[in-house]
Amino acid sequence: MNAKSKSMHNQIVDCTIRDGGLVNNWDFSVEFVQHLYQSLNEAGVEYMEIGYKNSPKLLKGAESAGPWRFLDDDFLRKVIPQKLNTKLSALVDIGRVDENDILPREESLLDLIRVACYVQDVDKALELVRLFNERGYETTLNIMALSNVMEHQLLEAFEKINESVVDVVYIVDSYGSLDPNDFALLTAKFKKHLPNKRLGVHTHNNMQLAFANSLIAAEQGVELLDASVYGMGRAAGNCPTELLVAHLKNPKYNVRPLLDMIEQFMISLREKEEWGYIIPYMITGMLDEHPRSAMALRGSADKDKSVDFYDKLTTPEMLHNS
């Protein structure tokens, strides 16, 4: 099978609103989201993750966040009065979603609900997956922070996942610490232990490898590739949607509408909000750490003092405490 025919199996899930919302507290205008939906549809992108479907009553600080943090179904119908080819997705977190807020799929604009969890919560996640599956949705399970998961934990999780109804299982590089070799190994492991499940990847760009890692995964037969326009996502951001659309050999993909989205909306947004490859995020990526310390640094007066930051994170006493 040549690479060209193989890549036809890849599908892109654009996470600009959901993951990008972590950058600006989901403060996107309706116009921004509508234009993005039109652009993704014209570009041939298969899914748009239009936000979180968590419940405001289960989260602190909910009132300050934009509406894409909770996705009310009536609001969504006003935003997307006409559904196009691009399907809509939402992400939920364990313990932050009220299952009663999830309508049956035929009453909702959403097609796909993705459940994010850490490996120790796979049971709870699969219970939610079962519910959403019964309500007619496509489902994914996204196991976060894989770089920190012990082998035996992963193997136990695989056994449960194999027996579940979940459609797609995600390999998530939460800290942007994995390289293409790691992705090749992980993909092989997931394929071996989950022979009947489709796979997805979610990459972060801490070490400028989000695109390369996504391509390796795609070559290995991973189907769903997460990305975001102009790479907008928490901290170092994600694999840029426009790069995948430009590179994957699918005749229906067209990069021009995404360039228009970037020109009209993303360039000015990037002047106000910060995301992408920045040295403190590189440092947390190379050390396989959550980017929260780097995010705090970028919000402080010392935001460019990378040497001090590096020294703090690599001194022996820090390594003992972390």
- pLDDT recorded at residue 259: 98
Angle between helices 16-24 and 30-43 (to 10 degrees): 150
- pLDDT recorded at residue 176: 97
Give the other-Cβ count within 10 Å of 17's Cβ.
Answer: 26
Per DSSP, what are the bridge partners of residue 228?
Answer: 240
- pLDDT recorded at residue 320: 56
> CA–CA separation, 92 vs 117, rounded Å?
9
- pLDDT recorded at residue 3: 42
> CA–CA separation, 94 vs 322, rounded Å?
24
- pLDDT recorded at residue 7: 41
- pLDDT recorded at residue 321: 57
Across the chain, which has 322 residues, the per-10-residue mean pLDDT values are: 51 98 97 98 98 90 90 96 98 93 96 97 97 98 92 96 98 96 96 97 98 97 98 98 96 98 98 98 97 97 97 80 54
Burial 282-291 (b: 16+ CB within 10 A, else e): bbbbbbebeb
Which of 231, 142, 149 shows the shortest CA–CA distance to 182?
149
